Homo-oligomer: A and B are copies of this chain.
Amino acid sequence: MKKIISLVAALLLVLSAHAQQALYGGPQVESPVINADGTVTFRYQAPKAVKVEVTGDFLPTVKQEVDFGGNKMTVDMPGVGVLKEGPNGVWEYTTPFKVAPEFYNYTFHVDGQTVLDPNNVFVNRDVASLTSVLLVPGDRADLYTVQRVPHGSVSKVWYPSATAGFDRRLTVYTPAGYETSKAKYPVLYVLHGIGGDEDAWVTQGRATQILDNLIARGEAKPMIVVFTNGNISQEAAPLENSTGYTRPTMSLPQTMEGTFETSFPEIVKFIDSRYRTIAKKQSRAICGLSMGGFHTLYITLNNPDMFNYSGMFSAAIGTGSEQTAAHKEIYENVDGKLATYFSKKPALLWIGIGSTDFLYQANVDFRAKLDAAGYPYRYMETDGGHIWKNWRIYLSEFVPLLFK
């Protein structure tokens, strides 16, 4: 009897594995592998394939000219590594260089079809695309890794939006100790880019790990962090809408035409009513990437008594979206609004951009305007373009400057 029972125990494991094998499995290889010498090996099993490539941001970028309606522009495109076929149809590629610590995205191309790494369950969604994920620890990437430090809580909460006419979702980080303390906390609002949502900074941005680690190191003050959804026509991230499972898209309505900016005070009001916040300018900060940098600028300028710290990460300014805005007033009289804003002596306007970002010139122009008027700001320029690697760096640099 005892023998039969433990057979069943073994079966429990084997059958589960077997059923999964049939549904999801196929032959398994180990991929990716961070080798002892710091290189990384990618493997893909496809005995009948003719060509297998890997692409991702761990590879050096390649310059490519893009033609858009007669306008030619040189952009950075991800490099490509070519896998070679070995025994049993296992294709393999090892980087000819040490891969630096970072949180990377990659995919395979198999005979022209883009596929995820079937042997890596870690994936990220960025707007409408999935990629496999590789975390190479060390250096700055240690900030992006869960460490054995006190962890904040990360909550998905819904606020009633009078502007939208329905409830909308936020991600809210409360720092370790919030629940057991009676203290009030400063608040940082963090905004995503076009096509993103309230999940983006937590998944792609590793923001809650960055916060946990900076606070644990004593490099940042404990703070509440609110990740908004800047697509005012949307309740929440694609999976979490009452519209069901619809395909995510970059071209959502009402994203850069003033409605979200106009609605922002209702979010601040909700957070101040729901959490133990220090509900005043001195203890409020806002930052955002790309479209979120654009939002940050105009929310700040239109509410000059609301934020003491503002961070524009690769801000999508100068794109002309203001010209056709539903709420033109948000974007009008920028010079006057800048004068008012700076007359109130905000603690920090922070600007960060990559040297090859296609928004680089627009940010040069904006800084020239600030310089001409003698307005103070802090500036950080990094390598690379319009990429998450830069946005994680900017957040890690911006957060330690807050609420000091």
A-to-B contact residues, CB < 8 Å: 2, 5-20, 22-27, 44-50, 55-57, 66, 68-69, 71, 73, 75-78, 105, 107, 109-116, 118, 121-123, 125-131, 133-135, 137, 145-148, 150-151, 153-158, 166-167, 169, 176, 179, 194-195, 235-236, 238-242, 244-245, 247-248, 250-251, 274, 316, 318-321, 323, 358-359, 362, 386
Contacts and interface: CB of A to CB of B under 8 A. Distances in A.
B148 A242 contact: yes
Given A135-B245, A158-B176, 9 more contacts: A9-B321, A10-B69, A15-B358, A16-B250, A48-B50, A116-B118, A146-B241, A148-B166, A179-B274
Contacts of A118: 113-116
Contacts of A240: 146
A20 B13 CA distance: 39
8 shortest A-B CB distances, which residue pairs?
A5-B320, A155-B155, A24-B129, A9-B319, A6-B320, A26-B114, A48-B111, A151-B158
A258 to B, nearest CB: 15
A6 B248 CA distance: 24
A169 B130 CA distance: 26
Contacts of A11: 68, 71, 73, 358
Contact of A248 (B121, B129, B236, B274): B121
A167 to B, nearest CB: 6
A47 B111 contact: yes
Contact of A319 (B12, B57, B114, B129): B12
17 contacts: A8-B318, A11-B68, A13-B251, A16-B194, A16-B250, A18-B75, A23-B56, A24-B130, A25-B129, A44-B113, A46-B112, A48-B111, A49-B111, A114-B118, A123-B123, A150-B158, A155-B156
A130 to B, nearest CB: 5
Contact of A17 (B73, B110, B111, B250): B250
Contacts of A150: 158, 167
**Which DSSP category, helix, strand, loop or mixed, fits chain A's interface?**
mixed
A114 B20 CA distance: 11
A265 to B, nearest CB: 20
A156 B158 contact: no
Contact of A24 (B13, B68, B114): B114
Contact of A66 (B18, B122, B274, B358): B18
For A12, A115, A359, the residue with the greatest tally of chain B CB atoms inside 10 Å of its CB is A12
Contacts of A57: 23
Contacts of A50: 48
A24 B24 CA distance: 21
A9 B24 CA distance: 42
A158 B173 CA distance: 13
Nearest to A247: B121
A63 to B, nearest CB: 13
A128 B137 CA distance: 21
Contacts of A73: 11, 15
A155 B158 contact: no
Contacts of A235: 146, 148
A5 B113 contact: no
A281 to B, nearest CB: 25
Contacts of A244: 135, 137, 145-146
B105 A23 contact: yes
Contacts of A194: 12-13, 16
